[in-house]
Structures are given as structure tokens and as C-alpha cells.
Structure 1
């Protein structure tokens, strides 16, 4: 069995992972990145719309943005983490620019009067962000192992000692002083999701098994701006400033009486859309000039689909995850985390344009902290753990994962109740028991299913405990938000 020794391991290959690796390397650590796919070409980063929204360094603007951010998350976000995100946002954007990313700049006004600067790549394609950053990673002498899944952490005498890796059904070990989890969210546990393949909650499950605390798992952002037919893609919400609206199967504009209409907070908009039998995008109010700014939509209209543009609310972002402090540390010594696999910043709803800023602020912080921690630790001991692998065979794991996705979408998705959640938990336990008897041809599929089931159960348990409706967490049996005092 192959064994590797390094100072810091970064698990993941998206923006948060790359920023963390670059930061740890700058501190003088030997750094290894381990990614399930290709570094810079995997995860949600590469399909992101590139938008970074920051409040420039003006005390009043930043305070107004803080109030808007905290209120939008229904007062569930960690104030310390939010303040770090807001105060360091402008500097983080400049750092991203220094890595070769080119942004266009715009100004937006918040509902409370604050001024926000919007940075985005044009066109809004994630690879315009990830490709320049990946090039810097490859130039920096950071070691990389791709197409490899990390399946667990190794402990020695109660301390982090390494990770267990899986590549082509073969196990190998990496011994390290510090680990940074940057594996993204867990959207693939739902049958309807905008997340790419591989976003299966690996980091959250690994952290939970390692004894780290997870927070806010009941808060999942369901994205309202996804066109489902005749083509699947995410809309640019700017179209609603240009005359586009949503209508239901009765040709009613159901968001008409809401203050921000189709640009209402994502949690509220998604919930109202879910109440309709069908939702369509109506572009009849857009001028030809404005429609021309959106080539995909313009092409669909020209081809005769203008009255048939069907929308689908979809699981998009995991607000909950691994609990960290402002330096990216978990409550397990030697274990750090950053990006969407963490929780505590966004609370019960995430504002648009904040996720990529989060990566650029907390990725470097986690990398720096892990490197400083590793500097104080001796070389890890090479002691092989006892491995518990399923027997290999030809059993179908995809069927189980498909059942899991449908179960979570119908019983623990946008609307929840105690009855549905308890039924969901019972069925999840049955699926978990079934998984233990399966003999997979691909160990990776089996371990992904294990992680998805583990996180799903934690989500349902969290949703059962929160007996209220708050932000993205909608309990039909507890429709009101409890007092926040």
C-alpha cells in the first residue's frame, strides 16, 4: 500500500480549496491537494456565475451590508464570521484579481440604502474564475493528486495523523499534520439539484465521523432561477429588471404582491414557486434590445419556445455544514475547513454574490491557520489504520442513490412536517442498512452513498429539532418564525 507524507493536505479542487492551498504554501508548508475530479475543473466553482458582491471599505456601507446580510439569514448567521466576510471582502476581490482573474464592475443599492460593488466575469462562466487560479496552483509547486476520493481521517493517539484515499478501487494513505476540508456542499442528496456530480457531502460526513461539530444543516437554499425546459440553465436575475416575470399554470403573476416580486429573497421566492403546480418564465414584457442581452433566451424565443419556458426550483446551496471559527479551525485539533462545506456564515438564507467572496476570504485564512498549526507539529507517524471495506461485487449503487434523492426531495425538501420527516428518517435507516449488504463494483460509489445517507440523516434530525419556519427551513406544521430574543 502506497504511503505519502506531507505537512498540509487540502481535500477538494474548487476555489476555496485552491485559495487555501496557495495560502498554506506561502507560509512555507509542503502542501498536497487531493481532488475527486480535476483541480480547477470540478465542483460548483466551475459552474458558478462568478459574481462577487462586496461593500467597499466605508464604515457606514459595511454596517448597512452587515444588517442586510444578517437579516436575510434570519439572524442565524454567526455575526463574527459575517463581519470578517464583509470587512475583508474588498481585499479578497483584489487578491483574486492578482491571480489573473478579470472582472467587470457594477454598483447596486441595498434595500436599506447601502451601496454594494458587484464584480463578475463576462460572460459569467465559472471557468473564467477557476482556470487562472488553477494555473497559479500549478505554478506554485503544490503537489496534486486528482481523480481520488478521500474516504476518512486517520487518528493517532487522539490527534489528526492522515487521510485514507481511494483511487481506481485501490487504497493508499497520506500522513499529514493538518487537514483542510474544502469539498463543497451536499446538493446531490436531492433528486432536483443544480449541483454537479460529486457534490455528495463528503467533507461534512468525514468531519462528523472525526468528531467535529456541524451546524445549521436544516438550512438548504433552493434556487428559484433554474430553467428546466426546453433547456436547463440558470437565469441571470437581471432579466426581472428588464420586464421578465413568473406566471403559473393559470397565467397569474403570483409574485405581484411581494415587495421585490421575482427578486424576493431566494427562500421566499422558492417557497412561493413550490406552491404552484407549474411555473413559467414570461418574457413578453422585455424589449428586443434587452432580450438580445441574453442570447440563450433570445434563441429559445426565436425558435418558438417563448410561451413554454418552464421553471424548476432546485437544491442549490448548503448553508449549514462544518462549524468553524474565523480562522477556519474546527473543534478537532488539526482539522480545518472552508467554503461551502462549512456552516455558520449565511444562516437560514444565502445572499446572491456572497459564496465566492466567502471562498476568497476564508480559503486563505484556513490555509494560513493550517500551515501555522503544522509548523508546530512533529512529522506524522506512519501507522496503518484498520480498514473496513465492503466486499466487491456487481451490486447497483445508483438505484439506492436515486431512491435517496427522491426520498429527500419529497419528505425533507422545500416543505417539511414532523410526519414526513419521521417517515424519511425511517426510510433512510432502511437504506443505510441495505447499503451495508451491497457489494459494489466501484468503492467510490459505495462511499459516496454512505456519506450522502449520513448527511441526509443529520439534515432530517436537524429539521425535526427546529420546530419553526425560518428562512429556507419551511415547516408546514410550524408555519411561524419563533422569537429571536
Structure 2
């Protein structure tokens, strides 16, 4: 059997995006040894693609903002399916985490009097997003990476984890391999933190990078942890549709925050046609008022383009389905129109949205200062994930923690833009703190060589199968199926078909044939990733079938309305003893009176 490179740490962090880096920094600060594993190169995590900003109620631009308003916005955006304690902690602690990031060297955009500048974003009542042009995620990663390296955290780049190690009823490490050479790796740890991001690569059109194959969700599920809210997949309303060179690439909500408008093929701002009752009093009813809002007028109401992402995405789908879309199946997002309002609009756009301007000019030959973009919904984020304790971020299996997109609870049925980056900071910090505490209170445990041999045999079996399929084709077929049958608009018939298709895809995935050897073999990597993609795809589909209502990002055309009775539970998934997915409905806990009072007050 193969040999193993073995490493031992007090805390092992899997994933080196914003949540993973912040968790590793915090654990290290508590005096324990920390290992950090990343699937790609350090600094290349998908967090770098987060463009709009970090949501934090600093109140530097509008002094009416505070943590209570942020809390209420988050709960309302999540359709009150959120974990109230997580939403409270997030709103209270986000400002401190942002100022901490600044102290570590992050360079945020400033107001004229030198304070941190904050911009408008969908679903947020006041200007709240701290930003660096439209490169905020990159600045966050740069800052956290530099700080983490300075602390001496051990980093293992280009490594994939395939199994979590368990002994004595708790997680005690992880098994994986080095992507470049194919060597197997064993990590022993007293606590493990999952910070692996999302599941976007289960879909055909996605803004997510290649690493987002649901690794953390699947690792936790197979280790016995519970998943929650998996039906809630967010389709960002503005991903590029055309040209093919940029298909799926995200167009930051910051474009709309700076005055960008959505137009159908008739040149009409269709977002004025459908404003939810929940937001009528906060939403502009004319173009001029919406423009004043984006320019910082405190007395104006926000434009309808800045409603929550689920609503904007469904409005775009409606225009396309009813024949008012563009030739390539999208709508137009236009920021160049502000030339009517600002004398130096082109300079303003290049200054506020430098990444957008340069990216689309170079990759698509589109000058956003002069012409609109063709956009449509793209798979962007999953609100569901590993069920964790709100305060400690520990999963339902001792020794296992999770933070960031792979953890559930904060966002409920729909995430507000900008809350993802503050989520990474707030709960990455908490995961690191409590994982370090757990490590100090528990002893190390090793795993027998027999178990390790079994894990390596499972990983290598694709070189020995007789199947005719290749892993790339199976993944493409899975992505097509999920896009068509479990996408932005769902119904029971399609999802029952998806369940049957998943059974066939599982059989094909188990028998894909990998040729060559373990070095530099993307076919092998894809075969291993497929198991995770199938696990999360099944969880999304079964949970979506179970929730017979439309709520937040989950829209069913056969149940188009929210059901006040059924919309009061989370769907929890666990692995049965036979290996099946067991689903149960779990009633939402009652909010403490003081938090309910805040929500009632803000309404």
C-alpha cells in the first residue's frame, strides 16, 4: 500500500478563503499549533472574487445605521428563517472585525474627511458596505494572508481532503492527497475547522471557481454531522450572459449600488413593475428618486434594482420567459446611462468600479462606461450548509467546526449582499477561538494504518474500473441536469426526475475510468470531486422537494406563495445507518423577546 506523509496539529483548518484564514489566525493567537490546507494556491481562494464590500454597521456614512438595523435587515432578507443568535452576533461583531482588518493593513476607500466609505447594497436599509473599489475580497485575502503568515501558520497548498478521520465519537483529523504528485497525506488534529466554501460547480452556469464542489458539506455529512437549509441556493441576478468568454462571471451588486439600472429588450426599467409589499415604503417609485438615493440623499428611497437578490433574479427570469429578454437570454445592466446625470461619468465609473471596467474590457471587449452588459441569474451562493452552534461554530459531531459558506444558519432563506464577507470574519474568528479551546481540552488520537489503507484504496479505485465514462462528462451531465431541473424555478415533476437522474449519475460516477497515473491527473481529481457534488446535489434536491412553498431563494412554481404554517421550520439532513439521507423538519426556535422587539420596531 502507499506511504503517507503525516502531519500533526492541535487545530487543522480546511480551506484558505476569508473564513479559513481568519479561523487559523484566531486559533494561532490562542497558543495552539495550526495547519492550514488549501485546494489551490494560497491567495487564490474564491473570496478574492467578492467584489462589492463587507457589510458592517459602522455608521460612517449614515448615522442612522446601527447593529439593530443590520440585524433586522438580515432577518427580513432571510425571511425570518435565520438563526437569530447568529444574526445578532454577526450584526454586533462585524464592525469590530472590519476595524481589526484595517489595523492589520487593509486599505479601504475613504470619505472626504478620511473615514471609511460605505456604499448602498441590495436589501440594506442604509449605506453599509465597506469596500475597496470593486476588489474588496482581494484586499481581505491579501490582508489576512499576510497576517497569517506573519503568525507562522503552517500552510499545505494544492491539497484535497477526501475523508475526515473519526475515533471515539469525534473528529480527529483528515485524509487527503497532494494534487501535484498524488501523494497521500494524513493530518492528525484535536479539532478540525471546515471552511471550504460552496457548491456552485454542481450547476452549469455559476460565478463560483473550480474549487467549489461541496467538499466541506460532503465531508461533514459522511462524518455524521447534520446539514440544514440545503434547498436555499442563491442565484445572483447579474452574471454575464454574453459573450461566451465571460459567461457566468459575476457583475457585482456594486454596479447597481453606484446607479446601474436593469432594462429589458424594450429599453424599459422593469424592476418598477413588481415591488414586494415588504419593501414598498423603502423603494423609490421613480427614476429621479432612485438616482438621488445612490448619490447619498438620506431623504430618498432606494431604487428597485437594489431589492433582495432572490426578488431581482425572479424579475429577470420573468422578463426572459415572457419574451422581453435579450437575444442571448438575459437582460441589460446599464451604468453608462449616468452620463446624463454626471459631467465626468466615465471617470466616476472607472474610479468606483475599476475591476469591472478592466475585466470586461479585456475579456469581452465591452466598455461599461459606454455600453450596457448582458446579464442573467448565475448560481452564486448556498445559504444551507453544516449545522453549527451559533456561539462556538461546532457541528453536531464533537471536534468538528465550520465557518463561512459551508456553515448554515446566519442567512436563512436568502443572503443579503455583503453579509458573506462579514460572515467570514465574524464566524471565522469564533470557529478559530472555540476550536483552539476544544483542542486544549482534548487529547490527540491516532488512526490505525488499516483505516488509512482503506481510504487510499477508495481513492485509487478509479484507476481499476472497467467503466467507459470519463469524469468530465459525468460532471457536465450533472451540471446540465441540476441547471434544468433544480434551478431558479422549481416544480415537483422536475425534481422527481432529478432524483431518478441522480441515481443514474451515481452509478456512472462510481465506475468512471481514470487513465494515466496519480501525478498531474485532473481526471482523477474530478472523479473524486464528483462524489461530493453528487452528495450536495442530492441534498439540495431532496430538501427542495420537502419544502412545499416559495420562500426566499427557493421558488416553486407549483407552490408560488409562502405558507405561513410551513414556513416556520428548518429542514435538517443526516446520514442514516444504512447510508441514506434522512430528512426531518425542525421547528424554528423562538426568538428572545429583545430580538423580536427589534424586528417589530424596524418593521
Task: Report the TM-score when normalising by structure 2.
Answer: 0.75
Aligned to 1:431: 505
Q: Does the 8 Å CA contact 1:242/1:286 hold for their aligned counterparts? A: no
Change (3 A) 1:261 1:304: closer
The separation in 1 between residues aligned to 2:556 and 2:415, in whole angstroms, is 19
Q: Does the 8 Å CA contact 1:53/1:116 hold for their aligned counterparts? A: no
Deviation at 1:116, TM superposition (A): 4.9
Change (3 A) 1:461 1:351: same
Aligned to 1:365: 430
Q: Which moved more, 1:120-129 or 1:193-202?
A: 120-129
Change (3 A) 1:460 1:111: closer
Aligned partner (choices 313, 318, 343) of residue 377 of structure 2: 313
The separation in 1 between residues aligned to 2:123 and 2:513, in whole angstroms, is 57
The separation in 2 between residues aligned to 1:391 and 1:113, in whole angstroms, is 48
Q: Which moved more, 1:156-165 or 1:310-319?
A: 156-165
Change (3 A) 1:343 1:112: closer
Describe the SS at the equivalent of 1:312. Answer: strand
Aligned partner (choices 453, 475, 481) of residue 562 of structure 2: 481
Change (3 A) 1:282 1:437: same
Aligned to 1:455: 536
Q: Which moved more, 1:73-82 or 1:90-99?
A: 90-99
The separation in 1 between residues aligned to 2:220 and 2:235, in whole angstroms, is 24
Aligned to 1:420: 494
The separation in 2 between residues aligned to 1:349 and 1:33, in whole angstroms, is 30
Aligned to 2:14: 11
Number of paired residues?
Answer: 484
Q: Does the 8 Å CA contact 1:20/1:366 hold for their aligned counterparts? A: yes
Describe the SS at the equivalent of 2:271. Answer: coil
The separation in 1 between residues aligned to 2:146 and 2:559, in whole angstroms, is 49
Aligned partner (choices 205, 210, 215) of residue 202 of structure 1: 215
Q: Which moved more, 1:134-143 or 1:8-17?
A: 134-143
Task: Report the TM-score when normalising by structure 1.
Answer: 0.93
1:120 corresponds to 2:185 = no
The separation in 1 between residues aligned to 2:524 and 2:123, in whole angstroms, is 51
Aligned to 1:392: 463
Larger Rg: 2
The separation in 2 between residues aligned to 1:113 and 1:276, in whole angstroms, is 25
Q: Does the 8 Å CA contact 1:54/1:116 hold for their aligned counterparts? A: no
Q: Which moved more, 1:92-101 or 1:250-259?
A: 250-259
**Cα deviations across residues 109-149 of structure 1 (Å, max 9, x unaligned)?**
79999655431113525322212211222221211111110
In angstroms, what is the RMSD of aligned CA positions?
A: 2.6
1:342 corresponds to 2:407 = yes
Spell out the pairing of 1:32-431 with structure 2 (5 A cutoff).
Answer: 32-42=35-45, 44-49=46-51, 51-56=53-58, 61-104=66-109, 105-107=116-118, 115-167=126-178, 168-230=181-243, 232=246, 233-240=249-256, 244-257=260-273, 258=275, 259=283, 260-277=303-320, 278=325, 279-283=331-335, 285-287=337-339, 289-295=344-350, 309-325=373-389, 326-384=391-449, 385=451, 386-387=454-455, 388-389=458-459, 390-392=461-463, 396-431=470-505
Q: Does the 8 Å CA contact 2:366/2:373 hold for their aligned counterparts? A: no
- In the alignment, structure 2 segments of 5+ residues that lack a partner are 110-115, 276-282, 284-302, 326-330, 351-355, 516-522, 569-603
Q: Does the 8 Å CA contact 2:462/2:527 hold for their aligned counterparts? A: no
- In the alignment, structure 1 segments of 5+ residues that lack a partner are none
The separation in 2 between residues aligned to 1:112 and 1:475, in whole angstroms, is 22
Q: Does the 8 Å CA contact 2:463/2:514 hold for their aligned counterparts? A: yes
Deviation at 1:378, TM superposition (A): 1.6
Describe the SS at the equivalent of 2:99. Answer: helix
Q: Does the 8 Å CA contact 2:193/2:401 hold for their aligned counterparts? A: yes
Q: Which moved more, 1:107-116 or 1:423-432?
A: 107-116
